[in-house]
Amino acid sequence: MTATDFDTEREYDGERFSAIEVFRTDRMKVVCGYFEPGQFIPVHAPSSDVAIHVQTGTGIVRDGTEEHHVEPGDVVVVEADTDRGVRADDDSELEVLLITAPPPTDAEHEPVRAGLQRGQFDPQPRNT
């Protein structure tokens, strides 16, 4: 059994969001995510489902073309092969639990690395 809590795992990084992996099998990955204000996971579309539970703070979760404002207690589920991303509000730290099944491949996370390097939440911004 794996047991932990957000306080034990808490680790912020001034440069980018912090993803602390707390469990992984070939079927599922569980991560505690810590975001300083404005930090994000860039939009990408891996072939895995993800469930996101907001522990503290506020932000947005992209689900395809929709953006959902989230706050503590919210749960958002995004299906595989759908654009997704997470961003903390500019005035709030954000702590989330991310459960992906199956775990994304290293190649599927390349858009995340590229977006972080460019400082871009969405590589193809939507017209609003």
Q: Of the CATH numbers 3.40.50.300, 3.40.50.20, 1.25.50.20, 2.60.120.10, which one belongs to the domain with range 7-118?
A: 2.60.120.10
Domain ranges of the chain: 7-118
d(CA 43, CA 39): 12
What's the predicted TM-score (pTM) here? 0.91
Query: What pLDDT, in 10s, does the model give residues 21-56?
Result: 999 999 999 999 999 999 999 999 999 999 999 999
Say what the pLDDT of residue 2 is. Answer: 84
CA distances from 81 to 17, 25, 47 (A): 22, 20, 5
